[in-house]
Amino acid sequence: MNTSIEVEYWVIDTAGELTSPGELAEISERTEREFVEPLFELKTPPCETIAELRTSFVEQLDEVLSKAAAVDKRLVPLGTPINCESIDRRPDERGRIQKAVVGENFDYAKYCAGTHIHVEKRNVTDQLNTLIALDAALALVNSSPYFHGERIANSARAYCYRKKSYAEYPKHGQLWHYVDTVGEWHRRLEDRYDEFKQAALEEGIDERAVEDQFSTDDVVWTPIRLRDEMPTVEWRSPDAALPSQLLRLADELETVMEQLHHTNVEIEADSDPRNTGHVTDDGIVLPEFDVACDLAEAAMHDGLESADVASYLERMGFTVDDYHPISMQIDGRQYVPTSDARALRVESARRLEEDVKSLRQSVEH
């Protein structure tokens, strides 16, 4: 099954200050700048095996890190920059329209760096429903509990998106209910596009400008999206994290996605989060939607410290003890001043560099 990873990393200078990617975004067609100045994105090609994905991801990152070292820059695997001065959005028409529609809350997204995992479309309805049910797996790689220095959730990034950026447009930025057909999913997309377009027109945005910048395929920022051009099902919930963590997550997610093509996927009626949901050789059983949402909430707020989340993810096929989320390692304070945030960014950049070095050695052997 073809799988790929897109990850956003903060770029810093040697002192830990956020800076522009500059030449790092020009290394290849798979490296680019993001919509805010200090964010850099790397995309792997679709890979038929996890081994191929690992090789591609590590080789690309190694090249980027070599260039970064030459220009005194580093990459930081944190879901938010912890605490920093105001971040500027790069000027573009799409962002201008989003800000006009969503309002000031849209600015929360400027402080978020995440990971998108793409899996090849096959049994799409089952894939959508299973990814919805597995959203709590974001807890496995939570990487920053802080926003503007304040501790707000084990995944501050997920909190910013779900509770702040799209608070007024929950259907555009939160988990959608399970679906019976792919057609139902597309009808929801059409409804969200119409809602967004109408809101833009009410803000005085020209209709042609909206139509030029948005389509039903990209008008929502929900944790799960269908991407027709790739074509993939995309899971967008995880934070930016260490490459080894993301590869482990992609591997275990792909295993579940592969298994659902060879077994039955059902939704059970048990609403007790201590018992609901499991992946076995006999089939995949998803929890009720409300339970899946509760587990995703707990994953966002408490991460793997939630016993319900940890045991649920084990039942769903994840080796929870193999994950060591960065959030759990840097958590513990209610407030982190900017000087300490710079030091944490430098330390996180060092860990990423060591992680890639270790991965490169394993790939070579």
Q: What is the pLDDT of residues 2-61, one digit of tens each?
A: 999 999 999 999 999 999 999 999 999 999 988 899 999 999 999 999 999 999 999 999
Domain assignment present for 101: no
Could you tell me the CATH number of the domain that includes residue 65? 3.30.590.20
Domain assignment present for 299: yes
Distance between CA atoms of residues 30 and 227, nearest Å: 17
- Residue 265: what pLDDT? 95
Domain assignment present for 96: no
Give the contacts of 300 (CB within 8 A, at least 6 positions apart).
138, 139, 153, 154, 155, 158, 159, 162
Domain assignment present for 66: yes
Q: What string of DSSP letters covers 19-59?
A: ---GGGGGSSTTEEE-SBTTEEEEEPPPBSSHHHHHHHHHH
Domain assignment present for 291: yes
Distance between CA atoms of residues 38 and 51, nearest Å: 30
Which range of residues forms the domain containing residue 345? 3-83+113-179+220-357
- Residue 169 in tokens: 């447009």
Domain count, the chain: 1
Q: Calculate the CA dihedral of residues 355, 358, 362, 365 and round it to 10 degrees.
A: 150
Residue pair 90/33 in contact by the 8 Å Cβ criterion: yes
Domain assignment present for 63: yes
Nearest of 260, 172, 189 to residue 226 by alpha carbon? 189
- pLDDT tens for 105-151 read 999 999 999 999 999 999 999 999 999 999 999 999 999 999 999 99
DSSP 166: T
- pLDDT tens for 323-334 read 999 999 999 999
Domain assignment present for 344: yes
Distance between CA atoms of residues 264 and 86, nearest Å: 49
- pLDDT tens for 147-197 read 999 999 999 999 999 999 988 888 898 999 999 999 999 999 999 999 999
Domain assignment present for 317: yes
